[in-house]
Amino acid sequence: MSAVAARPGRPRTGLLLLLLAVVVSVGAYALVGLGLRGRVPDDTVIYGLALGGAYLLAWAAVRWTAPRADPVLLPIAALLGGLGLAMIYRLVPSDVADQQALWLLLGLAAFVVTLLVVRDDRQLDAYTYTIGLVGLILLLLPIVPGIGFSINGARLWARLGPLTFQPAEFGKILIVIFLASYLSAKRELLEAGVGRLGLPRGKDLGPILLAWGASLAVLFLERDLGASMLFFGVFVVMLWVASGRIGYLVVGGLLFALGGVVGYLALPHVQARVSYWLHALEPANVHQLGYGQLAQSWFALASGGLVGTGLGRGSPDLIPYPASDFILSAFGEELGMLGTAAILLLFVGMIGRGLRVALDRDDSFGRLLATGLTVTLALQTFTIAAGVTRLIPLTGVPLPLVSYGGSSRVATFMMIALLVRVSAGPWRPSQRSPATPEADARSPG
Residue 96 near residue 89 (C-beta atoms within 8 A): no
Residue 416 near residue 74 (C-beta atoms within 8 A): yes
Q: What's the pLDDT score for residue 158?
A: 82
Residue 402 near residue 410 (C-beta atoms within 8 A): no
Distance CA 66, CA 115 (A): 8
| E strand or H helix at 425 | none
Encode 335-373 in three state secondary structure.
HHHHHHHHHHHHHHHHHHHHHHHHHHECCHHHHHHHHHH
What mean pLDDT value characterizes the chain?
Answer: 83
Q: What's the pLDDT score for residue 9?
A: 52
Q: What's the pLDDT score for residue 293?
A: 79
Distance CA 413, CA 378 (A): 15
Q: What's the pLDDT score for residue 409?
A: 93
Task: List, for residues 158-206, the tens digit of each pLDDT value.
Answer: 887 777 888 888 988 999 999 898 888 877 766 665 555 555 555 556 6
Q: What's the pLDDT score for residue 214?
A: 76
Q: What's the pLDDT score for residue 440?
A: 42
Q: How open is the CA angle 399-402-403, to the nearest 5 degrees?
A: 65
Residue ranges in the chain modelled with pLDDT below 50: 1-6, 8, 430-445
Distance CA 393, CA 139 (A): 23
Neighbours of 385 (CB within 10 A): 18
Q: What's the pLDDT score for residue 6?
A: 43
18: left (phi over 0), alpha (psi -120 to 50) or beta: alpha
